[in-house]
Chains A and B, each alone.
Chain A
Amino acid sequence: MDTLAGSAWDGGVAPFATNTKKLGMWLFLLSDSLTFSTAILAYAYVRLSSANWPRPFEFSPAVVNATFLTFILLSSSLTMVMAVAAAHRDEIRKAVIYIILTAIGGIAFVVLHLMEWFRLFAEGVTPWSNHYVVNGQPGDPLFGGTFFGLTGLHMLHVSIGVIYLCIIAYGFGRRKFNADHVEVSGLYWHFVDLVWMFIFPMVYLMSVNLKG
């Protein structure tokens, strides 16, 4: 890594001074952030061009619940940072505990989010219909499509992240993986957190009921 002889373009082995795993993860996250960006922009697109877009969420419980989900994800990111730091200091036990705490945060997020989904299903909000009335018309069915699409895509990423973290915790605990593997899984986890920082305001806060 430190054997950069002369110019990085002149046969240098690591122009970015990172290992290939980390560079690969960064490039994946770049493409994944475009996936999420286009999904969020598509949501904004159909919402702006719709005359009967519902704003159904009450401040409590929907927005309070989503704020709590944000708190869980941010805290799991903090434990992941601690896990990476411990892994680089070669404190294997500590790192594994922090990774497992992070995974527990992810599981809590998915469970609480699914409970909210089922509450909406019970109210009659599905990906293709809803019972809201906006300006005397039925609410735009795309509301459910975009809501469940965006949050579902994010939930899928969290679920994959939990599986990924469990594998890393197992492998790192058994010294099959090194600290670089933990760091790369951390990049993925922080990215999932980062995406939620856009979905939370766009989907929840912009949908708070204006009537109060």
Chain B
Amino acid sequence: MSAHGATAEATHQPGSKKLFMWVWFWLLILTGVETFLAYLRLEPHLMLTLLIGLSLIKAALIVAYFMHLRFEKIGLFLIIVPSLVFCLTMILIFVFPDSLRIAQLSGLGH
């Protein structure tokens, strides 16, 4: 998300081979950590929280470096990411909690 979108466009390819290798390396490390968590068989709530956190970091790395969003004009970032976050938040607030209500009705007691 550099403010120098025009400069980045002129040089075409910001980010070196080494940088992408590093991103790939870290994505593999984070994947390894996730698999190790499954090996430990943690308690489901803790496991889910950790996995979602790690996955969001991985997604951010892919979007920022592999998909170059970090090097685009900030306007592109602003039309894509906030709208996605908004839609997902709406689903999480208004639709998703209903599954917990169903679970309570059937006495699951999550």
Taking a contact as CB atoms closer than 8 A, the residue among A29, A41, A202 that contacts B95 in the complex is: A41
Chain B residues with a Cβ closer than 8 Å to the other chain, count: 58
Residues in B with CB closer than 8 Å to A190 are 62-63, 66-67
How far is A82 from B72 in the complex, measured between Cα atoms in Å? 18
How far is A102 from B88 in the complex, measured between Cα atoms in Å? 31
Q: A2-B6, A70-B31, A194-B62 are in contact. Are A23 and B20 (CB under 8 A)?
A: no
B6, B31, B72, B102, most chain A CB atoms within 10 A: B31
Q: Which residues of B contact A (CB under 8 A)?
A: 5-6, 8-10, 12-13, 17, 20-21, 24, 27-28, 31-32, 34-35, 37-39, 41, 44, 47-48, 51-52, 54-55, 58-59, 62-63, 66-68, 72-73, 75-76, 79-80, 83-84, 87-88, 91-92, 95-96, 98-100, 102-103, 106-108, 110
**Beyond A46-B99, A206-B44: 20 further Cβ-contacts under 8 Å?**
A1-B6, A15-B73, A16-B73, A16-B79, A30-B80, A41-B91, A41-B95, A45-B96, A51-B107, A51-B108, A64-B35, A71-B31, A74-B27, A80-B66, A85-B17, A88-B13, A186-B66, A194-B67, A205-B51, A206-B47
**Closest CB pairs A-B (n = 6):** A49-B102, A201-B51, A17-B5, A205-B38, A45-B99, A49-B99
Q: Which residues of A contact B (CB under 8 A)?
A: 1-2, 4, 8, 15-18, 23, 26-27, 29-30, 33-34, 37-38, 41, 44-46, 48-49, 51, 59, 63-64, 67, 70-71, 74-75, 77-78, 80-82, 84-85, 88-89, 179, 183, 186-187, 190-191, 193-194, 197-198, 200-202, 204-206, 208, 210, 212
